[in-house]
Amino acid sequence: MLLPIPGLLTQDEVQQLRAIIDGADWIDGNATSGHQARLVKDNLQLPENGEAAQHARQVVLTALGRHPAFISAALPARIYPPMFNSYAGGQNYGLHVDNAVRVLPDGGGSVRADLSMTVFLEDPAAYDGGDLTIETAFGVQRVKLPAGDAVLYPSSSLHRVEPVTRGRRLASFLWVQSMVRDERARSSLFDLDQSIQQLSTELDQGHPALVRLTGVYHNLLRRWADG
């Protein structure tokens, strides 16, 4: 499932993030890359343990925690601390699949990367190129969203970032370990939850059909959730 999430960040939050990261010291993005990524990755990143990244990631985490579409789609169990990258002057990230397991930088274990997310932090009119290109069962999808919008997609997907030929592309990116490992089960739960939410605006909250559907949702989640 590839899910755009409009307005994950408010415009005030985008400006707050930009004030934190624009003047920060950036490093070669390959500082956190494995062998395969080094062959195709050309960008800059904020140092994970730097003060700017630590402050900025809290803004993103707060937004994730309040956004119902993200919670419904991802069913997050653990989130890798959001990181930040920059592309300019032809920089790009060639075709790749994200690592299955990400070791947490604080030594607190690891995150199984079930889902990847990109949060766009620059007006798309301010740069050329830089599309996030994701290969799906329905063909290649190109994603380039307004600042503050995000996209959630399976970490198992082949994807790339196209060369930025004008301006600068800024984004936050992160990985999610879901309570529900199976992608098809997670997608079905999301569809069911969205249907319940829609019906709840049309029916009385105590309507028997709505109560039964809510029970089905939670019983499926109980069956499919890890641990």
Q: Domains plus CATH for the chain?
A: 3-178 (2.60.120.620), 183-224 (4.10.860)
**Alpha-carbon distance 154 to 170, whole Å?**
21
Looking at per-residue confidence, does 32 or 6 come out higher? Answer: 6
Q: How far is CA 219 from CA 3, 37, 114, 133, 215, in A?
A: 24, 40, 22, 36, 6
Beta strands in 128-179 (DSSP E): 128-129, 132-136, 139-143, 150-154, 159-161, 164-166, 168-178
Write down the pLDDT at residue 206: 87
Write down the pLDDT at residue 137: 87
pTM score, two decimals? 0.94
* Mean pLDDT confidence for 156-171: 98
Write down the pLDDT at residue 116: 98
Looking at per-residue confidence, does 108 or 98 come out higher? Answer: 98
- Contact assessment for residue 8 and residue 145, using Cβ atoms and an 8 Å cutoff: no
Q: What is the pLDDT of residues 99-155, one digit of tens each?
A: 999 999 877 899 999 999 999 999 999 999 999 999 998 899 999 999 999 999 999
